[in-house]
Structure 1
Amino acid sequence: MLRFLNRIATSRWASGPMRAMVPVDALLQRRTMGRLSIGRTVGLHSLLLTTTGARTGQPRQVPLFHVPYGRGFAVIDSNLGADNHPAWSVNLLRHPHATVVTLGKQLPVIARETQGHEREEIWQTILSVSPGYAAYDARCNRNLRIFHLQPAPDGRHTSSTRSPRPRQPTPG
């Protein structure tokens, strides 16, 4: 099933339906504290990321696929192969303190964009799980950002604690 999904999901025509599923997945993850997600039903790791808006300072939530990395998570800003970086990626560059919800747990994290050998190591791990990301990379005219979301050292963060405003999040 995952192999089939990787092939279909990366086609240009699938971008619309996939974007339409993002709010449903966000709601599902919010209601279940990340225990259930559309991605998890096909064997992918999934999380709900809350960032602080780069322009607004307001909390923003987006469901993302991830790969475990170190004690944290690695996420990629593929944006389904679109030429622009997704808002959550821009938000993390401006405000690296964020929150992850997954598997019934909420965890404050600090995001760091990866570079060099570390980025390549994570990229290869991502491709081993979901080779479709190579199609997104080939389709867009930008470098995909890969972030390492590490648990905040003191278990706290400085991003807003207000509830996120409902909006249509941008997928990975």
Structure 2
Amino acid sequence: MAQSQGWMKRYVKAFCKGFFVAVPMAVTFLDRVACVARVEGASMQPCLNPGGSQSSDVVLLNHWKARNFEVQRGDIVSLVSPKNPEQKIIKRVIALEGDIVKTMGHKNRYVRVPRGHIWVEGDHHGHSFDSNSFGPISLGLLHAHATHILWPPERWQKLESVLPPERLPVWNEED
């Protein structure tokens, strides 16, 4: 009996040591490096959730890539919603700071994206709550880059940074 209690005590001690090392490491990894997220809704169709309401893609979100606010036109990014800070949204970057973009339903026909901001839109126009609704979004709300579709298995792929030709900025500072 005493021998089994000694074994149990060693087991609990080893478990606690492992737990108190593994949990902070896992939290740090998920907060600073990468995590996964389920994409809901039709705003990014056909790129994400092409099956409509019957499917939800699961994507890999790379926090590391977003830590210096390095984004390019065409990137799919996760952002803190400017209307509801408890919600994350996923959209495509259409324009960067300094670009002039032709809007789709915004109060102004053309918008110059201010410094420290980006213009984001969903791929499914008319079914997306995006910059056309709330304007340019601060880079401070950038959460992560979506880099891969992980689920469902038949859709496993790397997400490409592709900007639809009809959504190119009217003018950008590189011109």
User: What's the TM-score once normalised by structure 1's chain length?
Assistant: 0.31
Q: Which has the higher contact order (CA 8 A, sep 6+)?
A: 1
More helix as a share of residues? 1
Pick the structure with greater CA Rg.
2
Q: Return the TM-score normalized by structure 2.
A: 0.31
